[in-house]
Amino acid sequence: MPEAMLEKAPARPPLVALTDDEQLFRENVRQFAEERLRPRVREMDEKGVFDHELLAQFFQLGLMGIEVPEQYGGSGGSFFEAVLAVEEISRVDASAGVIVDVQNTLVHTPFLRYASEEQRRRYLPRMCSEWVGAYALSEAASGSDAFAMQTRAELRGSEYVLNGRKLWITNAKEASLFVLFATVDPSAGYRGVTGFLVEKAFPGFTVGKKEDKLGIRASSTCELILEDCRVPRENVLGEVGKGYKIAIETLNEGRIGIGAQMLGVARGAWEYAVKYAKERKQFGRSISEFQGIQFQLAQMATEIEAARMMVYNTARMKDAGLDFVKEAAMTKLFCSQVAERVTSLAVEIYGGYGFTKDYPVEKYWRDSKIGKIYEGTSNMQLQTIAKLILGK
C-alpha cells in the first residue's frame, strides 16, 4: 500500500486489550455483582421486583453516571467502561444489567449530546446520585416503525401539553425522569417528532401496569399514560422537530449496550455449564470427558469470544469518534444470537435439571430472548446492515 494511502487510513482503536484502570474497574464491578447482586437474583426474578437497596448501591458505586463528567456528579469515565459494567452485571443478572445500560446509554447519551447547559445542571447531578432514568419511544402501534407515534405535544403558552400512551418502557417503575418523544405535528411525519424531559411528578403523567414478562422479570416494563401532561417549554430536549435524530443516534449507541448485556448473559450461562459438566457423572465419569459435551462447550466459548470482540471493538470505535452504526447493528444482531444459542445449550447440558428453576441456566435462557427484540429487532438490524453495505 502506498505511503500516501497509509497516512489517510484512520487509526483503529485496540480491539480487546484493557488498560490497567479498565481492568481494575471491571474487577470491582465483578466483585460487586458476585457479592451483592447474585444472592438476590432468584428472589427478584420470582417476585418480579428489583431490590431498591441494590439501586442505591449502584448510585454509590458510580455505575449510574459512568460517562457523565465529574462537574455534573458523574464518574467521568468512558463509554467502554459503561459497556464493561453492563457485561459484568448481566453475567450475574440481566435485569440489573439493563437498568445500568438504559441509564448510561439511552438516558445520559442524549443528555450529554443535546441537553442545554441549564438542563444538565438541573438534572444530571440527581441522575448520578438518586434518580433512575427511562427512555420512552415505543407505542402500541409504533414499534419497529418508531416514528408512527401518536403521542401529541401541543404548545400552550409556556408549556407543552402531552397526550398519548407509551408502551414497553424499561425502568418505568423506578424512573423519576423520562426522555420521552412526542410529535408536535402528526402531518409532518418524523419531522414533527420532538424530545422532552418529563419528570414523573409532572401533572397528568402516570405510570401504568407492569408487564408480566418471560425474562428480565425484575426489570420493570410499563405503560406510560399522558393525559394533559404539562411539560415546561424549557424541557424540550434539543430542537423542536429534531427528536427523530436524537432517537436514532441514541439507539445506535444503545445497541452496543444490548450487545454487552447479551455477552454477559452468554458468559454467565456458559460458566455454569462448564462447572456442571465437570461435576455431573454418567457411565462412571464426568460428562465433560465425553467428546460431544467438549465440542459443545468449545463452540459456545468460541462464539462468546467472537461476541466479546465485536462489543469491545464497537465500543472503542464509539469512544474514538469513528462511524460505528453498521458495527453496532452487527453487534446487537450477533450477540443476541449467541446468547440464545449458548443459553439453550447450557440448559441441554444440565439435562432435566436445566429445565427446572432449581438451577440457574433456565433463567439465563429466558433472559436471552429479549436481546433479539428490544432496541431494534433482529430484522431491523439486518435491514440497517444491508443498507450500509449496499450503499442504499
Given the residues 253, 303, 362, 375, the one annotated as active site: 375
Q: 110: closest CA among 201, 243, 202? A: 243
Give dist(CA 242, CA 248) in Å, integer. Answer: 10
Give dist(CA 277, CA 350) in Å, integer. Answer: 8
Residue pair 164/181 in contact (Cβ under 8 Å)? The answer is no
**Cell (9 digits) for 369:** 430472548
Q: What is the dihedral of CA 210, 87, 371, 376, to 10 degrees?
A: 90
**φ/ψ (deg, to 5) at 188:** -85, 0
Residue pair 82/66 in contact (Cβ under 8 Å)? The answer is yes
State the distance between the two ends of the chain, measured CA to CA, in whole angstroms.
Answer: 29
289 is catalytic: no
Residue pair 371/261 in contact (Cβ under 8 Å)? The answer is yes
In this structure, how many other beta carbons lie within 10 angstroms of the beta carbon of residue 7?
Answer: 7
Residue pair 309/256 in contact (Cβ under 8 Å)? The answer is no
Which DSSP string do the residues of 95-108 spell out, in sequence order?
HHHHHHHIIIIIIH
Give dist(CA 167, CA 153) in Å, integer. Answer: 17
Give dist(CA 58, CA 86) in Å, integer. Answer: 12
Cβ within 8 Å of residue 155, ≥6 positions away: 161, 184, 233
Residue pair 265/95 in contact (Cβ under 8 Å)? The answer is no
Rg of the Cα trace of the chain?
22
The catalytic residues are 375
